[in-house]
Amino acid sequence: MITCDEFFAEFGDYLENRVSPEVRKELELHLSQCRACHVLYDSTCQTVKIVTDNSSFDLPRNISESIIGTVMAKLRADRA
């Protein structure tokens, strides 16, 4: 199984659907077995959802990506 650090390194790309099917499988396996990363995943998805739900229009894809980028940057800062 991959480590949390490996998971974290791919996490942003995973959310943006930019990982290969093999990597996606590894990440989902890790997610199903690691509570810490599962919580991280949940809270990131919720943050993105809150931001997008509060918009009265459909966010262009590049904006939702930049939201993910912002959340990821904050998560990285929190871990540092």
What are the residues binding Zn ion (CB under 5 A)? 4, 34, 37
Pick between residue 19 and residue 34 the one whose CB is nearest to Zn ion.
Answer: 34
Specify the residue, 61 or 80, whose C-beta has the smaller distance to Zn ion: 80
Encoded amino acid at 61, one letter: R
Q: Which residue matches tokens 């939201």? A: 67
CB of 65 to Zn ion, least distance (A): 23
- Report the nearest approach of Zn ion to the CB of residue 26 (Å): 11
Query: Cβ 55 to Zn ion, closest distance in Å?
Result: 31
Spatial distance between the Cα atoms of 57 and 52, rounded to a whole number of angstroms: 9
Q: Do residues 40 and 11 touch, judged by C-beta distance below 8 A?
A: yes
> Exposed e or buried b for every residue in 12-23, given b needs 16+ CB within 10 A?
bbbbeeebeeee
Select 10 or 64, whichever has its Cβ closest to Zn ion: 10
